[in-house]
Amino acid sequence: MTIPTSSIEQVIPGQGSMAQPETGKPAKVKKQRFRFVANRKAATGLVILAIYVLFAIIGPWVAPYEPDARGNDLIQPPSADHWLGTTHLGQDVFSQLLVGTRSVMFVGFFAGIVATVLSVLIGVTAGYLGGKADEGLSALSNVFLVIPALPLIIIITSTLESAEDWLIALVIGLTSWSWNARVLRAQTLSLRRRDFVDAARATGEKTWRVIVFELMPNLTAVIASGFVGTVIFAVLSEITLAFIGVTSSTTWNWGTILFWAQGQQALAQEAWWWFIPAGLAIAMLGTALSLINFGIDEFVSPRLRSAGKTKIKTIDGRTVRMRIGFTPVLSNSPAPHTHASPTPVVRKEVTQ
């Protein structure tokens, strides 16, 4: 029995007697490498953060003056000699800002590392092991979760004779890990019953290998987001401690600058250059870390990553961009669309 080629062509297009192999080269699949860095928010945040890290490294070496050095130019506005003006003792504000960057960055990152390590150890272990270990570690997390962190930090640092940066960072890190541990525990509970984890256990993998090589890669974004949030909290905590005078006023950071500016009535003396640069530095650092956090969220969530990229075309030729939180109402007619019902409501009267 012979099957005509036209029938084959109808069933499988391109497979008839006249079908020729495709000569075109297969389209190359573009691999989206470094997708996180390609995100505009994350890239902007990383660039700003890199500038702060650079200032923290070279700041004390490139500062034009010593931060404690006094001069004869008292409360002078920005000039060629003093880029950000001077204080009531003739100290250079720009030098104080550069030198103080190292303390802020060190406390923020050191506290973030300590809190992240504790949250990973306690949260992931509690979520994976379960049972009594989960109950005990969860109870420990709940205890630290209800402890007011900032008042405890104030009490601890005020009782110490010399509260150095590493000690302040250690106290902040030891009191700010519980929330991230709870989040990691919840994520681990949802992952430990997945097929790939069961397969790893079935092959005889040890517990630590399952946690490190199976669970941790899927928790990387959550851990990174928690680290960024802890760094923001640590930076604000250290600046707050310095501003209220709990820590030493001779150790320079941005909070110390604001402490002396507030104590010497800089606002009343209209010495805006004394406190505005430090406030802008705090705001820019918080903005950079927040942009990195937003970039992590978009990197993890495909829904956020594709937001604003989907376009649809209406009948009249208009292009509408789909966005999260907005539902476009399309109309076939050029007349404005209303939500009123086009069909009149008919009421029936019942006569008795």
- Name beta bridge partners: 311: 321
Closest CA to 109 of 36, 57, 73: 57
User: How many other C-beta atoms can be found within 10 angstroms of the C-beta atom of residue 227?
Assistant: 23
- 235 closest CA partner among 145, 173, 310, 162: 173
pLDDT at 308: 54
At 4 the pLDDT is 52
| H helix or E strand, kind and range, residue 311 | strand 311-313
CA–CA distances in Å: residue 63 to residues 66, 82, 99, 234? 7, 11, 7, 25
pLDDT at 339: 47
Q: Which two three-digit tokens encode residue 65?
A: 């003056």
Q: What is the pTM of this model?
A: 0.76
The per-residue pLDDT string of the chain (352 residues; one tens digit each, 9 = 90 and over) reads 555 545 444 444 444 444 444 444 444 444 455 666 778 888 999 999 999 999 999 999 999 999 988 988 898 999 998 999 999 899 999 999 999 999 999 999 999 999 999 999 999 999 999 889 999 999 999 999 888 878 888 887 777 767 788 888 998 999 889 999 999 999 999 998 899 998 988 998 898 899 998 899 889 889 998 999 999 999 999 999 899 888 877 789 999 999 999 988 898 888 999 999 999 999 999 999 999 988 888 877 666 655 555 666 666 667 766 655 555 555 555 554 444 445 554 454 445 4
Dist CA 220 CA 215 (whole Å): 9
Backbone angles phi, psi at 283, to 5 degrees: -65, -40
Which neighbouring-strand residues pair with 319?
A: 313
CATH hierarchy code of domain 44-304:
1.10.3720.10
Where along the chain do its domains lie?
44-304
